[in-house]
Every structure is written in C-alpha cells, then in structure tokens.
Copies of this chain bind each other. A is one copy, B any other.
Amino acid sequence: MKKLINSPGTVIADALRGIEVSDNRVRVDHTHRIVLRKEPKADGKVALVSGGGSGHEPLHAGFVGEGMLDAACAGEMFTSPTPDQIVAAIDAADTGAGTLLIVKNYTGDVMNFEMGAELTGAQVRTVLVADDVAVEDSTFTAGRRGVAGTMIVEKIAGAAAEEGMGLDDVASLARAVAASTRSMGMALTSCTVPAAGRPTFDLPEHEMEIGIGIHGEPGRHREPFTDAAHIARQLVEPVLADLNFGDSDVILLVNGMGGTPLIELYVMVAEVTALLEAADVRIARCLVGNYVTSLDMAGCSVTLTRAEPEWLRLYDEPVNTAGLRWGA
C-alpha cells in the first residue's frame, strides 16, 4: 500500500493538521478532533454541526466555514464520531440559538449523534440524510444510506443559518432538501483503508460495482465494465425512477469517489446531462468534482436535488470553506 500518509495510525490527526494550516478561517480542537470556525460566534446564529467517519474529505471537515458548517467531527476512518466528540462540537458551536445536527443515515452515526444530542445542554434538532437509492438497508445502515446529497443539504441549510433563520425553520428546510435529494454511485476500484492495508473488496479487472456505498459497501450488482454512457444510464435511471424531477428546477452533482480525475468526471457530466435533458429534467445548477469521497476509490456518483426557487437562491449564496468556495 502506497499512500501519502505517515502511518495508518496518524492519518486523521495529520489530515486535521493539514486542514488547519491550509485554511486560516478554521481552527481544530485536536483533543476532540473537531474542526471549528475561528471567528467569534455570531449571537443568534443557529449552529450547523455535522461529522462522520473520516475518509470522505472534503466532507465534512472541509466544509466548515462561512455559509456552511460551524463544526465538524472527524471520526475514525469510516467510523462514526463518538458522543463526546459530538457534545464538544455542539458546545463549541452553539450560540444559544440552537444547533442543527446533519447526520448521514448509518446506524452508528444515528446512535452517537442521538447520544450527543441528549448529553448536551443545547437545544438540538437533527436532520437525517438518506439519499442513496441503491439499496434499502446495507452493511452499516437500516434504511437508505446517506451519501453525496449530504453536501447539498449542508450548503443550502448553511446559507439559511448564515442569514439568521431560526432553528426550527432551518431544520425544516434541511429536512425538505434531504427529502428532495437522491443519489446513486458506482465504483471501478475498491478503496484501501490505511489500517487494513489492502482493498476493502475484490473487483475483477473488467468489472464494476453499480450502487456502491461510500465505504465500499456492496451495491446492487456487478457487471462488466463498458463505457461512460452506459454507466450514466445505470446511475441516472434509478434516481429518476425514485422521485419525480420533471416538474422542478434541479441541482445536479456529479461527484468523484476520490481516485477519479476531473477529466473523467467531465466525460460523465456530459453523459448524465444528455440523459437528463432527454427526460425533460431542468438542470438549474451543476457541480462537478471530488467532494464526497471514499478514500482512493475510483468511481463516481450522481445526485439530483429537486430545488425550490428559494433553495437555488440559498445554494448560490457565498460559501467560504477549504473544500467549497464561491463568491456572491
């Protein structure tokens, strides 16, 4: 196993140091492994706290900053953060206006965020993201998995919180965005968890896994590798079959799994867009890149959010984080 790391035991601590030195708008509580905004908390701002297993960067640690999260907890690799991390994040981020927890739907995450919410004195609401249409229940999940759509929820809810929206309204908004978001992913290769030192699963040279989870959990099926156009159909069709996207503007995210270069994601977005146009889906916004990753896995996912006009306005608001930046 060759990776740009010092050792499997230090990779998360080292990566947190890297986020800290590369983004002077955040600070890291290394004891609790939480990333926080550096500037003083604005009174009355609802805090957005997320987190999950490490290995999906820039999600979540790279999404802390203006217009997005107030704090992110970095769990062990592909492992939920602990309740005490979550309590520390809530306590550091809360301004008295309450905290929204954005949680991907994995059993460990749900349990630990629930426990964290019970242990803190802050007023807390939770949104569960379960956007992956590939499978019901999975290795680490009861119900659908939370995958790349999580960043769309964080972006839109983050903008609303930045504007001063109250806790219950931000929570309702985040839940509505999550409920309007669907994703489907695929892998050309397995990821390799540093501590394991070998690929999580075996995938023969000429096969791919359709419906892969972001920890390498099994998807729907394997089939021979073909081409980008076929892969796009395998991702777009289940998403369109799951929710009616025809009557609304849509945010499209073509996301890389970490080991896929941008040139291939550009090829994918061309194919995905052609399919969506043929299905009369109106693509109002389009984002392409490696945002919700699975370590060094090669592959991609397609996420669609059926967006109300107000959500598009919030999506367009400035964001200033290590992993996602744009201006007004």
Q: Mark A200-212, 1 if CB is under 8 A from B, else 0.
A: 0000011010000
Residues A6 and B229 in contact in the complex (CB < 8 Å), given A263-B11, A325-B325? yes
Integer count of this chain's copies in the complex:
2
Q: Which of B2, B258, B267, B328 contacts A15 (CB 8 A)?
A: B267
| C-alpha spacing A238/B18, complex, angstroms | 21
Judge whether A227 and B5 touch: CB under 8 Å: yes
Judge whether A266 and B326 touch: CB under 8 Å: no
Judge whether A296 and B265 touch: CB under 8 Å: no
| C-alpha spacing A16/B273, complex, angstroms | 13
Residue A300, interface by CB 8 Å:
yes
Find chain B residues with CB under 8 A from A5 CB.
227-228, 264, 267
Residues A295 and B261 in contact in the complex (CB < 8 Å), given A4-B231, A208-B2? yes
| C-alpha spacing A261/B193, complex, angstroms | 12
Residue A118, interface by CB 8 Å:
no
Residues A266 and B22 in contact in the complex (CB < 8 Å), given A6-B228, A290-B261? yes
Judge whether A262 and B290 touch: CB under 8 Å: yes
Residues A270 and B327 in contact in the complex (CB < 8 Å), given A188-B4, A261-B57? no
Residue A21, interface by CB 8 Å:
yes
Q: List 25 A-B contacts (CB under 8 A).
A: A2-B208, A2-B298, A4-B264, A4-B265, A4-B268, A5-B264, A6-B227, A11-B263, A14-B228, A14-B267, A15-B263, A15-B264, A17-B266, A18-B266, A18-B270, A21-B270, A21-B273, A21-B283, A22-B269, A22-B288, A62-B262, A263-B295, A288-B322, A318-B327, A327-B327
Interface residues of A (CB under 8 A from B): 2-7, 11, 14-24, 54-55, 57-58, 62, 188-189, 205-206, 208, 225, 227-229, 231, 254, 258-271, 273, 283, 286-288, 290, 293, 295-296, 298-300, 318, 320, 322-323, 325-328
| Besides the known contacts A14-B228, A259-B261, 16 further A-B residue pairs in the complex with CB atoms under 8 A apart | A2-B208, A4-B265, A4-B267, A4-B299, A6-B229, A7-B227, A11-B263, A15-B266, A18-B288, A22-B254, A57-B262, A258-B262, A258-B263, A261-B295, A262-B293, A328-B328
Top-10 shortest CB links A-B: A327-B327, A18-B266, A258-B261, A4-B264, A17-B270, A18-B270, A15-B266, A21-B273, A18-B269, A2-B188
